[in-house]
Amino acid sequence: MIALESTTVVWSLVCARVRLALLLVLLFTLANSIACNRLNASKTGGNSVFLNRDLSTGDLSQWSHRDFGLGTDAGGNTSGGGYLWYHPNVAGRRAAGITVTPTAHASPAANSDSVFLWEPGQFWNHQPYEIWLRTSVMFPSAATISSSGLSGEAPFAPTTGEWNWFLVFHNDSNPMPGCAKEYGNISLAVKTDDLVVSGVIGTKNLRIALRIMGGDDCSPNIVWVDGPPLQLDHWHEMLLRIKWDPKRGLVEWYLDNFSAPYYSNLKIPTLFRRPKGYMSPSFTTLTLPNYRLHAPWNSTIYIGPLAVGSTRPSVLKAF
């Protein structure tokens, strides 16, 4: 009995110490989480610029990753994939020339060609952050390629349908259920009204279009917003305002007119909500692709300087 009582007392002391240790760990974790949230909150205070790709370095080195269609950061402009060129002056501004070719496959998706400039996930890609993005895009004709084009670049020639992506806030790559229908949450593309046929250039009713996806990842909310007719050799000026939320997000799209949004929705899901056991809500990463259905021709898009910030003034003053 004495031995048993002694053992019980010792075990009680051990349990008390373990509970104390666990309590200390919990308090440390909570304090660390609060500190990190306050740090991130401080980053969004005022007119913070989260990402500035103003191309002032005279190359594309500001972008964290470049994929010529041969694998992340593999190869270059002479490696047999696509082309990613810096331009000091395309119709008056610095630009990234993003050229997709039949041999460029940055994405593993079947029957597709692609090259990417992309960034890894940042805190501002997550709920509940609200961000602004500013950039510009040009779709060159043969005349612009003749005056400004570099090796491998070619006039913009879209494939049929909607698969001509040039800016995507992509859903994260975490595991998802078998029923999931997740794609990029905020995506910009050139759409055509042609019947989708492989290896054919799209020519009917070309326009820039915005796709917004979010909500239940097995039955997502999908909204398409068609822009005005596409203009070749024109710098399309763009602002995006996005609040990341799987239920009550926000999207405003300004196109060639920063005084009023072309599209505004102040309550729309912009992230995916996944079932219990999966990371939820989702988060995003920013990619500038030239991503199309597989085709036998080269096609170039020019993207101007790009900035992401916490407010409209922050991105308007970024470059």
Domain total in the chain: 2
Find the CATH number of the domain harbouring 151: 2.60.120.200
Q: Could you tell me if 211 and 222 are in contact, meaning their C-beta atoms sit under 8 angstroms apart?
A: yes
Q: Which residue has the tokens 């049929």?
A: 160
**Shared domain check, 78 and 16:** no
Are 109 and 15 in a shared domain? no
Q: Are residues 246 and 140 in the same domain?
A: yes
Residues 151 and 191 in one domain: yes
Query: pLDDT per residue over 208-244, tens digit each?
Result: 999 999 999 999 999 999 999 999 999 999 999 999 9
Residues 103-158: tens digit of each pLDDT? 999 999 999 999 999 999 999 999 999 999 999 999 999 999 999 999 999 999 99
pLDDT values of the chain reduced to their tens digit, one per residue, 319 residues: 334 333 333 334 334 443 444 334 333 433 343 344 444 544 556 899 999 999 999 999 999 999 999 999 999 999 999 999 999 999 999 999 999 999 999 999 999 999 999 999 999 999 999 999 999 999 999 999 999 999 999 999 999 999 999 999 999 999 999 999 999 999 999 999 999 999 999 999 999 999 999 999 999 999 999 999 999 999 999 999 999 999 999 999 999 999 999 999 999 999 999 999 999 999 999 999 999 999 999 999 999 999 999 999 999 999 9
Cα torsion through 244, 250, 256, 257, rounded to 10: -130
Tell me the pTM.
Answer: 0.87
Contact 202, 245 (CB under 8 A): no
Where do the DSSP E strands lie in 161-235? 164-171, 186-191, 207-216, 221-229
Domain range for 211:
48-316
Check whether residue 22 and residue 79 sit in a common domain: no
Q: CA-to-CA distance for 75 and 65, rounded, in angstroms?
A: 12
Do 140 and 17 reside in the same domain of the chain? no
Of 57, 150, 163, residue with least CA distance to 98: 150
User: What tokens appear for 29 in the block?
Assistant: 């974790």
Same domain, 152 and 261: yes
Residue 141: other Cβ atoms inside 10 A: 13
Query: How far is residue 303's CA from residue 291's CA, in Å, rounded to a whole number?
Result: 14
Pair (241, 152) in one structural domain? yes
Those residues whose C-beta lies under 8 Å from the C-beta of residue 225, and which sit 6 or more positions away, are: 209, 210, 211, 212, 253, 262, 263
